[in-house]
């Protein structure tokens, strides 16, 4: 028992040291124009296609929630390597790889093999939120890129849209998040779109959904599986391309697109948090920023761990 406890404490210390090595000023000397280059590229990409902001934010989440914030989600499959992009939660739905590749090329042009893909993704997520009207936060930097990926962890750890509240709280708790963190991070669904196959059961079989809202969604999402599976609907039907707190007001009106969305306001322990975020944009912004910083600190590779990839889609 003592040895197990000592080992656990060692792991906690190692995690703390890794997190402490991250710093928002990490590139101030080695690549002083890195952040402005990333911001300029993200703003241009979002201005070209508003939906891209949500895609970049989702990429960061799907990266951090698997092995940690190490850029593993960016690694493409090869004949001898299976990455995370074709795991069930990611297949044919993750987007923005080309934008990250473009940013990486721009950063490499000014600072050769200095800025990691993992850091680019973390900063791009923040800048995407800002580009769509959301509040900013300070991103700690200094992550390095993984040389591995895990399709199995992507399948097991990323919370699916059919989870109930207990499942959601448990999934986020395993990553060190509180229930309030989980509700705040779910607010990312104030932007972006969902596929019919992920909300079909909710609109046809659940009772905790606004009838008029369900009817409007059924027009583009047939009941039959395999019919219109990839048809899209906005996660926030009121302000689809603005990062605000309207997502929570939608939940109060039973207009959550996914089953898992409406579970946050369904007579359970998170109802009051949803009410608070719906009534106070400031409360949501503060909680979201705090949770995003916590997420960006999930198991980063630092120091001599991993590598700085030359191309985000493959190891050096």
Q: And the tokens for 115?
A: 């800025």
Instruction: Please check if 159 is assigned to a binding site.
Output: yes
Instruction: Please check if 202 is assigned to a binding site.
Output: no
Instruction: Please check if 123 is assigned to a binding site.
Output: no
Instruction: Please check if 66 is assigned to a binding site.
Output: yes
CA nearest 126: which of 310, 241, 292, 314?
A: 292
Instruction: Please check if 72 is assigned to a binding site.
Output: yes
Catalytic, out of 60, 62, 202, 259: 62
3-class state of residue 70 by DSSP: coil
CA nearest 89: which of 31, 171, 19?
A: 171
Instruction: Please check if 244 is assigned to a binding site.
Output: yes
Instruction: Please check if 108 is assigned to a binding site.
Output: no
Task: Give 244-271 as a 3 state SS string.
Answer: CCHHHHHHHCCCCCCHHHHHHHCCCCCH
Angle at Cα 217 formed by Cα 211 and Cα 244, nearest 5°?
90
Instruction: Please check if 189 is assigned to a binding site.
Output: yes
Separation between Cα atoms, residue 107 and residue 116, nearest integer Å: 10
92: left (phi over 0), alpha (psi -120 to 50) or beta: left
Q: And the tokens for 27?
A: 């590139």
Instruction: Please check if 139 is assigned to a binding site.
Output: no
Instruction: Provide the Cα torsion 264, 193, 100, 285; round to 10°.
Output: -40
Instruction: Please check if 157 is assigned to a binding site.
Output: no
- Is 62 annotated as catalytic? yes
Q: CA distances (Å), 233 to each of 190, 221, 283, 295, in order?
A: 12, 9, 27, 27
DSSP 134: P
Separation between Cα atoms, residue 214 and residue 262, nearest integer Å: 13
CA nearest 250: which of 260, 236, 264, 263?
A: 236
Residues making up the annotated binding site for Ca(2+) are: 63, 66, 68, 70, 72, 84, 190, 236, 239, 244
Residues making up the annotated binding site for heme b are: 189
Residues making up the annotated binding site are: 63, 66, 68, 70, 72, 84, 159, 189-190, 236, 239, 244
Active centre residues (catalytic): 62
Residues making up the annotated binding site for substrate are: 159
């Amino acid at each position: 028992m003592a040895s197990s406890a000592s080992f656990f404490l060692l792991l906690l210390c190692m995690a703390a040291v890794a997190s402490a090595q991250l710093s928002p000023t990490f590139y101030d000397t080695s690549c002083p124009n890195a952040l402005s280059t990333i911001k300029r590229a993200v703003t241009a990409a979002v201005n070209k296609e508003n939906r891209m902001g949500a895609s970049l934010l989702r990429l960061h989440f799907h990266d951090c929630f698997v092995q940690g914030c190490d850029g593993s989600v960016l690694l493409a499959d090869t004949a001898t390597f299976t990455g995370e992009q074709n795991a069930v939660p990611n297949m044919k739905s993750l987007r923005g790889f080309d934008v990250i590749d473009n940013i990486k090329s721009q950063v490499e042009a000014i600072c050769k093999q200095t800025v990691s893909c993992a850091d680019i993704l973390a900063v791009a997520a923040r800048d995407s939120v800002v580009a769509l009207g959301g509040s900013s936060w300070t991103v700690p930097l200094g992550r390095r890129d993984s040389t591995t990926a895990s399709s199995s962890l992507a399948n097991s750890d990323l919370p699916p849209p059919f989870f109930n509240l207990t499942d959601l709280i448990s999934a986020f708790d395993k990553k060190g998040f509180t229930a309030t963190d989980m509700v705040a991070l779910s607010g990312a669904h104030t932007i972006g779109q969902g596929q019919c196959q992920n909300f079909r059961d909710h609109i046809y079989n659940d009772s905790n959904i606004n009838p008029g809202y369900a009817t409007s969604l059924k027009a583009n999402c047939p009941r039959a599986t395999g019919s219109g599976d990839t048809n899209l609907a906005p996660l926030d039907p009121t302000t689809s391309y603005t990062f605000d707190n309207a997502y929570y007001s939608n939940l109060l009106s039973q207009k959550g697109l996914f089953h898992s969305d409406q579970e946050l306001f369904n007579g359970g322990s998170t109802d009051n948090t949803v009410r608070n975020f719906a009534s106070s944009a400031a409360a949501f912004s503060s909680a979201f920023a705090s949770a995003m910083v916590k997420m960006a600190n999930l198991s980063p590779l630092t120091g001599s761990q991993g590598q700085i990839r030359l191309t985000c889609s493959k190891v050096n």
